[in-house]
Amino acid sequence: MSLSALGSLLLASVLLVGSTTASAAAASDPSLFPRRTSSSESSAQQACTHLQSALGPIASATGNAALYNFTVHNAWNLQNTLYQPTCIVFPRAAADVQTAMRAIYTAGSHYAVQAGSHSGMQGWNTIQDGVLISFSQMQNVSYDASRDSITFEPGIHWGNATAQLAQYGVAPVGGRVGDVGTGLLLGGGVSFLSPSYGFAADNFISVDVVLVDGRLVTATATNQYADLFRALKGGANRFGIVTRYEVRAAHVGTPEETPFYGGLVLYNATESANVALVKAVAKYVKEVTDPNASMVTTLTTAIVNGLPQQYTWSFLMYNGSSLPPSIFGDFLAIPALDSQIGALTWTRVLPVGDEPSPGAATNSLRGFTQHFGGSALHGDEELFLNAYTRYKNFTETFMSAESAPSSGLNLTTLWFTPVLASQIEQGRLNGGNSMLSGSQTTPYAMAMLAEQFNAGLQEIPASVQDGMDLWLEQVPRSEGLPIFVNECDAKQNAFASYGEYEFLKATYMKYDPGRYNVEHQQGPMGL
């Protein structure tokens, strides 16, 4: 299969979305967090009534029904379209978020925050019987050449930011898929630029944060909120609501310039090619030290016409005019079905929206139930081969022609994202984050198992959850490495794996001593 055929296969599935009407089952689903009680309902009502008069037109089931409905159905993970918030607030400025947070806090209401809506975790970006704060009306982005920084509001998507900043030759260090949003930053965030710039969050210059009681503070690396600033680099949605980010600008060239070289390689996914590829990834993680090199590799299994098909590919990229054989030779030696290697503009690396971008060749579409699980591995070949072998067993168990109809699995992917020493070092140079302690300097790779279910499937079968649990048990993280909160199973305690876990807990207690956030909003456990 060619790359363009892969693209149209993936695009075709968007047409199915319209035929799957997600029922409003959530209202009666007892598994949803937080538990539906009459008191959570009435607290939410109280907050919404107050907000309706304080903020004017807000979208709610009784207010702007079209906007409410669009927002509810727009969540990427189908499971997150099944919740019905009591009302949705669409702030236009930080002051609106303060008003909303004060009303929520005073009423004791449950709440959620949504930016790009791409969370894979059920319930992390929406809420039943609570207030949802949606940033869809706050999407400004601008470049300040004198500070060489980019300032944006939380509603922007990475593809839109790329498009609007291309004329200046700069980009924020954000996601690898255009349709994803800024929640990525709070989970740390990895970009194709990370080898030279660090985790996405390592590029924060200042952030405006609405604390749980409605106070608005600006946190920087050196002011009185420096602890909050650092905690936010990996602390996900637990430390407040960010209303403005100022980040270091990455210099990526204009659409007329091609500072990068590389592209997608789609391999002939035989067993020997897969094994060679996994070994190449392990060697890359262990040996590559050049921050100009960037790479992601995935092994995908998709059900096509009832049969499992394998798609194995890498996106290879170099800041320069060729792919150095000393770095990428092993990848280029594996027999390929198709490859799109060539000179790259940044706008080609990260196109706008759902366009099948190099980093987006799988599971970027909305409308399907999605599920992640994550591990982190040192560059030891055996660890990578083990992750692959366990993944293969998972797919043979749940994605054979016989088993796929009952597992409901339509597409699974094993992703390997290297975290080179240069990436870790950039974080340290920028004051550190909450994921890695100062003494963690060894390169590693994040390994992620991602599942996409058949159109319409709303509840993950218990056997498949067991299969994910088994994979996570069989592919444990290497000693001392953090689980990536952007790519984990909600049941994994990612924070507890952080190098700065004690710091994270202490900082949480300082800014939310009443534990309001963890008791009223779904998100990572461990605080």
Ligand X SMILES: *[C@@H]1O[C@H](CO)[C@@H](O)[C@H](O)[C@H]1NC(C)=O
Ligand Y SMILES: Cc1cc2nc3c(=O)[nH]c(=O)nc-3n(C[C@H](O)[C@H](O)[C@H](O)COP(=O)(O)OP(=O)(O)OC[C@H]3O[C@@H](n4cnc5c(N)ncnc54)[C@H](O)[C@@H]3O)c2cc1C
Residues 105-164 that bind ligand X (CB under 6 A): 139-140, 157, 159-160
With contacts defined by CB under 6 A, how many residues of the chain interact with ligand X?
A: 39
483 binds ligand Y (CB under 6 A): no
Cβ atoms 477, 499 nearer than 8 A = no
Rounded to whole angstroms, the Cα distance separating 114 from 117 reads: 6
Closest CA to 88 of 60, 130, 57: 60
Rounded to whole angstroms, the Cα distance separating 3 from 64 reads: 42
Options 4-12, 113-121, 223-231, 263-271: segment touching ligand Y (CB under 6 A): 113-121
The most distant pair of C-alpha atoms in the chain lies apart, rounded to whole Å, by: 65
**Nearer residue to ligand X within complex by CB, 334 or 485:** 334
One character per residue 316-355, x = contact with ligand X (rule: CB under 6 A): ---xx----------------x--------------xx--
Rounded to whole angstroms, the Cα distance separating 332 from 334 reads: 6
Residues 61-90 that bind ligand Y (CB under 6 A): 76
Query: How many CB atoms lie under 10 A from the CB of residue 216?
Result: 17
| Close Cβ partners of 275 (under 8 Å, ≥ 6 residues apart) | 385, 388
Query: In the bound complex, what is the minimum distance in angstroms from residue 446's beta carbon to ligand Y?
Result: 9
Task: Determine how β-strand 293-304 pairs with β-strand 250-251.
Answer: unpaired
Cβ atoms 417, 337 nearer than 8 A = no
Options 42-50, 234-242, 386-394, 454-462: segment touching ligand Y (CB under 6 A): 234-242
* Residue selected from 85, 91, 116, 308 as contacting ligand Y according to rule CB under 6 A: 116
Residues 188-247 that bind ligand X (CB under 6 A): 193, 196
The string of DSSP letters for 385-400 reads HHHHHHHHHHHHHHSS
Residue 375: which of ligand X, ligand Y, none does it interact with, CB under 5 to 8 A by kind? Answer: none
* Residue selected from 119, 149, 430, 433 as contacting ligand Y according to rule CB under 6 A: 119
- End-to-end alpha-carbon separation of the chain, Å? 47
Query: In the bound complex, what is the minimum distance in angstroms from residue 115's beta carbon to ligand Y?
Result: 3
Query: In the bound complex, what is the minimum distance in angstroms from residue 270's beta carbon to ligand Y?
Result: 27
One character per residue 420-459, x = contact with ligand X (rule: CB under 6 A): ----------------------------------xx----
The string of DSSP letters for 227-292 reads HHHHHTTT-GGGS-EEEEEEEEPEE---TT---EEEEEEEE---HHHHHHHHHHHHHHHHH---TT
32 binds ligand X (CB under 6 A): no
Rounded to whole angstroms, the Cα distance separating 389 from 473 reads: 13
* Residue selected from 85, 130, 169, 189 as contacting ligand Y according to rule CB under 6 A: 189
**Nearer residue to ligand X within complex by CB, 16 or 525:** 16
Residue bearing tokens 């903020």: 55
The four Cα atoms 38, 42, 48, 54 give a dihedral, to 10 degrees, of -170
* Residue selected from 7, 16, 137, 276 as contacting ligand X according to rule CB under 6 A: 16
Query: In the bound complex, what is the minimum distance in angstroms from residue 337's beta carbon to ligand X?
Result: 5
Task: Determine how β-strand 260-267 pairs with β-strand 336-339.
Answer: antiparallel
Options 114-122, 381-389, 425-433, 451-459: segment touching ligand Y (CB under 6 A): 114-122
241 binds ligand Y (CB under 6 A): yes
Residue 182: which of ligand X, ligand Y, none does it interact with, CB under 5 to 8 A by kind? Answer: ligand Y
Rounded to whole angstroms, the Cα distance separating 321 from 484 reads: 32
Residue 237: which of ligand X, ligand Y, none does it interact with, CB under 5 to 8 A by kind? Answer: ligand Y
Residue 76: which of ligand X, ligand Y, none does it interact with, CB under 5 to 8 A by kind? Answer: ligand Y
Position closest to ligand X via CB = 353
Query: In the bound complex, what is the minimum distance in angstroms from residue 190's beta carbon to ligand Y?
Result: 4
114 beta partners: 134
Query: In the bound complex, what is the minimum distance in angstroms from residue 296's beta carbon to ligand Y?
Result: 8
In angstroms, the Cα distances linking 397 to 277, 327, 409, 412, 513 are 22, 35, 11, 12, 46
Torsion over CA: 270, 275, 279, 281 (sign):
positive
**Nearer residue to ligand Y within complex by CB, 192 or 471:** 192
Give the footprint of ligand X on this chain (CB under 6 A).
9-10, 12-13, 16, 69, 73, 93, 139-140, 157, 159-160, 193, 196, 250-252, 268, 270, 290-292, 302-303, 319-320, 337, 352-353, 393-394, 397, 410-411, 454-455, 467, 470
Give the footprint of ligand Y on this chain (CB under 6 A).
76, 112-120, 124-125, 154, 175-177, 180-184, 186-187, 189-190, 237, 241-242, 359, 363-364, 486, 523
